[in-house]
């Protein structure tokens, strides 16, 4: 079985090309899927190189489903649409303690969709406490 980290489509294709199909990894794990924009290589690769060719690899994709303005976040909804299973994780709302599944960006920060940050920039919020308007 092959293991390693893939940083680009070229790396992934090279791995698939040089590996006997019986030796493919059992698992392809992708984190931060929201950083892949529509038109990026990852969705097309999964569709054309794995699903349509019936390659037997489990694929686990994690990422934020919505951005800080409560909009679908890049490719994540597309990945969810082709998944056999979806699991939505939640946490506690920073404001009320209820169930939170949204990312709230604190005021005064960039309005760019992607802003890498942590607790200084973001909080988990529920729908009732997330006061950034949907745009």
Give the active site residues: 32
Is residue 35 within 8 A of residue 75, CB to CB? The reply is no
Is residue 84 within 8 A of residue 57, CB to CB? The reply is no
Cα gap 106→14, rounded to integer Å: 41
* Segment (H or E) for 38: none
Q: What are phi and psi of 64, to 5 degrees?
A: -80, 130
Task: Residue 35: count other Cβ atoms within 10 Å of its Cβ.
Answer: 17
Is residue 125 within 8 A of residue 99, CB to CB? The reply is no
């Amino acid at each position: 079985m092959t293991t390693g980290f893939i940083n680009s489509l070229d790396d992934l294709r090279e791995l698939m090309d040089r590996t006997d199909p019986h030796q493919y990894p059992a698992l392809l794990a992708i984190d931060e899927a929201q950083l892949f924009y529509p038109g990026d290589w990852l969705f097309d690769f999964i569709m054309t190189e794995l699903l349509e060719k019936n390659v037997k690899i489990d694929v686990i994709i994690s990422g934020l489903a919505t951005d800080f303005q409560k909009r679908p976040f890049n490719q994540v909804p597309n990945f969810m649409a082709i998944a056999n299973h979806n699991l939505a994780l939640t946490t506690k709302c920073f404001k009320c303690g209820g169930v939170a599944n949204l990312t709230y960006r604190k005021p005064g920060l960039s309005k760019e969709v992607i802003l890498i940050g942590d607790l200084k920039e973001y909080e988990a919020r529920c729908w009732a406490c997330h006061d950034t308007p949907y745009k």
